[in-house]
Amino acid sequence: MEYTDQLGNQIQLNTIPKRIVSLVPSQSEFLWDLGLQKELIGITKFCIHPEKMFKQVTRVGGTKNPDPDKIRALQPDLIIGNKEENEKSIIEQLSREFPVWMSDVNTPGQALDMMSSLSSLTGRESQGNSIIEASGLSLTKSKEMFRGQSVAYFIWNAPYHFAGSETFIHSVLTHIGLKNVFSNQARYPELSLEKLADLRPDYCFLSSEPFPFREEHLLQIQKALPDTRVVLVDGEAFSWYGSRLIYLHDYLTQLKTELYA
């Protein structure tokens, strides 16, 4: 059968894939949750959830630099990647040897579409529908949970980088009723704390990934922005676009209690 990925590329699969390599943490977790424990034979070193998968499945390197030789040795009949997470040159190289299905997820709707496509492609429509329904309910309950406050979402330290527009994080922030102070800048802009103070965000969210912000960073940033509420947040809640969406509303309920206390 012929399948079209989220970049518009078409791949041909003669049978339901039995040997899958996933190069994206959130999508690896989703495949595992679909019940593909035997079929998932390769993941990245950042595919840490669930722990059992991380311990059992062969790791083929990072998301940006997977080892083509390790992937070849596994002889996959399907590789699953993502436009932002994976390097184009490596994906093009792998595509010459194996079927590669690519996602492009910048909104919650695209996340649900990705899950639907992969459920169909792997013959797990029933399991996928259950996860998609629960994720959709969580997203619906999370809509406009906040009151339009402005936020700067930190993703990197020294220098500081933030989530801008055209990102999944930005879409989640907007969905839950927050105003991203970098909504007029694409992708991941860089800015000093001095210039950030001029934007006067109500909140600063310090993400746990890709840079693991800690209490010492919070204190430093809070000192530079004394009128802003600075908090550590779970980066997976805002950036993982697979089955972890099921828990988004529960996490945001806790966060809202902390912010509005």
CA-wise closest residue to 124 among 40, 36, 3: 36
Domain extent at residue 75: 2-104
**What confidence score (pLDDT) does residue 261 get?**
73
Euclidean distance between CA atoms 11 and 20, whole angstroms = 14
Domain assignment of residue 142, yes or no? no
Reported as a single tens digit per residue, the pLDDT across 125-160 is: 999 999 999 999 999 999 999 999 999 999 999 999
pLDDT at 125: 98
Same domain, 93 and 155: no
Q: Is residue 172 part of a domain?
A: yes
**Domain-terminating residue out of 67, 85, 104:** 104
31 plus 96 within the same structural domain: yes
Starting at the earlier edge strand, list the strands of the sheet with 78-82. Answer: 58-59, 40-43, 20-22, 78-82, 100-103
Shared domain check, 256 and 156? yes
130 lies in some domain:
no
One domain for residues 85 and 184: no
Mean of pLDDT over the chain: 97
Coil, helix or strand at residue 190: strand
Q: For residues 92 and 156, state if they share a domain.
A: no
Q: Tell me whether residue 62 is in a domain.
A: yes
Is position 194 within any domain?
yes
Count: domains in the chain = 2
Q: What is the pLDDT of residue 173?
A: 98
Q: What is the CATH number of the domain that holds 20?
A: 3.40.50.1980
99 in the same domain as 14: yes
- pTM exceeds cut of 0.85: yes
Please report the pLDDT score of residue 223 as a whole number.
97
The dihedral sign for the CA sequence 37, 40, 42, 44: negative
Q: Judge contact between 131 and 246, C-beta under 8 A.
A: yes
- Domain closes at, from 70, 104, 138: 104
Count of C-beta atoms within a 10 Å radius of residue 108: 23
The rounded distance, in Å, linking the Cα atoms of 251 and 147 is: 17
Cα distance between residue 35 and residue 63, in whole Å: 23
109 part of a folded domain: no
Q: Which residues of the chain have pLDDT under 50?
A: none
What is the CB neighbour count within 10 angstroms for residue 52? Answer: 10
CB 132 within 8 A of CB 110: no
Are residues 195 and 255 located together in one domain of the fold?
Answer: yes
